[in-house]
A and B are shown apart, each in its own frame.
Chain A
Amino acid sequence: MQSNDILINIVRFIVLVFIQVLLLNNINLGGYINPFLYIYFILLFPLDGNKSLLIFLSFLLGLSIDIFEDSGGVHAAASAFIAYVRPFVLKYSFGVSYEYKSVKIKKADTTEKITYITSLVLMHHFVMFSLEIFSFKHIPLLLKSTLFSGIFTIVLTMCTMILFNRKSK
């Protein structure tokens, strides 16, 4: 990681937390659907970065959201989880090019990018909502929330990626 990368990631961390708690948590589309864009940080963390560092930072990121939302540790758990499984997801979404460290998430093939984002987002939402709801009685609610919030998050993540990609060229 270069110093430029470090700076970008620190700024991204802080900005995403604020956008999440001040704006996105108040959307409540259809009563309960909110996007969780903050995991954008985990998705775009440099591929050659330290994996332990990513797990730790993801935990902190989730915990910051939890403190604002009064939700115990559900975001922290879900974020640490996807940070841990990220290398595996990267391997099956990008295949060989990931092994040779030649892939760049922003410039990757669209299908591969969508596979990568969708898998991580759905895993994150599933873990988060199961912990938040924490009861077998509400499994339909769990699946519904995961699906709808997941779609919302995926769309928003793709938009953000396209938006910021263009600027950097």
Chain B
Amino acid sequence: MQQIIFFFIRNKNFLLFAVLFIIALALTIQSHNYHNNKFISSANLVTGGVYTVRNNITDYFTLAKENEDLLQENLMLRKKLSQYNELNLAPTLDSGNIINKFEYYSARVINNNYSKTKNQLTLDKGRRDSIKRDYGVISSKGIVGIVSDVSNNYSTVQSILNTKSRINAKLKKSSHFGSLIWNTKDPNIAQLIDIPRIADIEKGDTIITGGRSTIFPEGVLIGTVKDFHLDNDDNYYYVNIDLFNDMTSLEHVFLIKNNDAIEINELEKRVEDAE
């Protein structure tokens, strides 16, 4: 017994270090796993508060660019509205009966990183603003990421610039599907893989979200084809995409709630369980 106690006393530094190192490793591994990185995140009161204060200050420096972006968006919406009016829709629908499939919320980015391999953003909206996990996040220019964790007032977003992200995307002109990933090299360039060889693809083609997931609606802009080549087994294309979004300067974003998501997921789960 005495020997054991002496052993502990003699090696107390090493043991302390080993325990702490294992805790840190566990936290790291846990954070690599998308569906339970819930233990430690910047979506808590202290860090969220600090980032909000910082943003209240730094917001002023980007006001000019923000205004420019808003102007552009207004212009685009105005154009759409005029096209819509020209359509002259049939007799008024009973708007009370139409339930929108997608609902939108707006939020401000209070922390954004893009220099690591697994990047996250922090937003200033949380559970109290009815934000939940797995909501899609876009900006006025295109796709940003997916909500990965929520606290009462803040939420964290797994950015598309994250090696864990895999988002369903397609070619706008031919609707061939693939997955959007990121190879960590350049925050302005993402990759589209698994596009079948048969697809007719050219430089400058537009890539949009595919609408096969329950997270993003179909047709959210992603980017344009920069270059492409066949991958190792010659059956699929590996496409580099110039993102429309400047992921290094995001200020205001929109969150998307899919009202049918729960129903779809439950149904799919039931089918899987039955098999």
Q: Which residues of B contact A81 (CB under 8 A)?
A: 17, 21
Q: Assess whether A80 is interfacial by the CB under 8 Å rule.
A: yes
Q: Which of B13, B21, B25, B116 contacts A71 (CB 8 A)?
A: B116
Q: Assess whether A51 is interfacial by the CB under 8 Å rule.
A: yes
Q: Are A73 and B13 in contact (CB under 8 A)?
A: no
Q: Which residues of B contact A69 (CB under 8 A)?
A: 42, 113, 116
Q: Which residues of B contact A28 (CB under 8 A)?
A: 114-115, 248
Decide yes or no: A141 and B16 within 8 Å by CB, A59-B24, A81-B21 being known contacts. Answer: no
Query: C-beta contact mask, A1-38 vs B, less than 8 Å → 1, else 0?
Result: 00000000000000000100110010010011110000
Q: Assess whether B78 is interfacial by the CB under 8 Å rule.
A: no
Q: Are A68 and B25 in contact (CB under 8 A)?
A: no
Q: Which residues of A contact B25 (CB under 8 A)?
A: 73, 77, 131
Secondary structure type dominating chain A contacts: helix
Q: Which of B28, B51, B156 contacts A77 (CB 8 A)?
A: B28
Q: Assess whether A102 is interfacial by the CB under 8 Å rule.
A: no
Q: Are A70 and B28 in contact (CB under 8 A)?
A: no
Q: Which residues of B contact A111 (CB under 8 A)?
A: none
Decide yes or no: A80 and B20 within 8 Å by CB, A31-B186, A67-B42 being known contacts. Answer: yes
Q: Which residues of B contact A25 (CB under 8 A)?
A: 113
Q: Assess whether B212 is interfacial by the CB under 8 Å rule.
A: no
Q: How far is the CA of A74 from the CA of B47 in the complex (A)?
A: 17
How many residues on chain A are close to B (CB under 8 Å)?
A: 38
Q: Are B115 and A77 in contact (CB under 8 A)?
A: no
Nearest chain B CB to A83 CB, angstrom units? 7
Nearest chain B CB to A70 CB, angstrom units? 4
Decide yes or no: A76 and B27 within 8 Å by CB, A21-B50, A68-B42, A133-B117 being known contacts. Answer: yes
Q: Assess whether B6 is interfacial by the CB under 8 Å rule.
A: no
Nearest chain B CB to A30 CB, angstrom units? 9
Which positions 11-41 of chain B face chain A at CB distance < 8 Å? 12-14, 16-17, 20-21, 23-32, 37, 40-41
Q: Are A67 and B41 in contact (CB under 8 A)?
A: yes
Q: Which residues of B contact A63 (CB under 8 A)?
A: 24, 40
Residue with the greatest number of chain B CB neighbours at <10 A, chosen from A18, A56, A59? A59
Q: How far is the CA of A133 from the CA of B23 in the complex (A)?
A: 18
Q: Which of B13, B26, B248 contacts A55 (CB 8 A)?
A: B13
Which residue of chain B is the closest to A58 with respect to CB atoms?
B20
Q: Which residues of A contact B248 (CB under 8 A)?
A: 28
Q: Are A52 and B16 in contact (CB under 8 A)?
A: yes
Q: Are A71 and B114 in contact (CB under 8 A)?
A: no
Q: How far is the CA of A28 from the CA of B112 in the complex (A)?
A: 12
Q: Which residues of A contact B224 (CB under 8 A)?
A: none
Q: Assess whether A109 is interfacial by the CB under 8 Å rule.
A: no
Q: Which residues of B contact A83 (CB under 8 A)?
A: 17
Nearest chain B CB to A160 CB, angstrom units? 22
Q: Are B21 and A72 in contact (CB under 8 A)?
A: no
Nearest chain B CB to A147 CB, angstrom units? 15
Q: Are A59 and B50 in contact (CB under 8 A)?
A: no
Decide yes or no: A138 and B44 within 8 Å by CB, A72-B28, A73-B31, A74-B28 being known contacts. Answer: no
Q: Are B17 and A80 in contact (CB under 8 A)?
A: yes
Q: Which of B28, B54, B113, B122 contacts A73 (CB 8 A)?
A: B28
Q: Which residues of B contact A70 (CB under 8 A)?
A: 31, 41-42, 113, 120, 122, 156
Q: How far is the CA of A132 from the CA of B26 in the complex (A)?
A: 13
Q: Assess whether A98 is interfacial by the CB under 8 Å rule.
A: no
Q: Assess whether A92 is interfacial by the CB under 8 Å rule.
A: no
Q: Which residues of B contact A56 (CB under 8 A)?
A: 16, 20
* Interface, chain A (partner B; CB < 8 A): 18, 21-22, 25, 28, 31-34, 51-52, 55-56, 59, 62-63, 66-74, 76-77, 80-81, 83-84, 131-135, 138, 141
Q: List 11 A-B contacts (CB under 8 A).
A: A25-B113, A66-B40, A71-B28, A72-B32, A72-B37, A73-B28, A84-B13, A131-B25, A131-B28, A132-B28, A135-B163
Closest 8 CB pairs of A and B: A72-B31, A73-B27, A73-B24, A77-B24, A72-B28, A84-B17, A76-B24, A32-B115
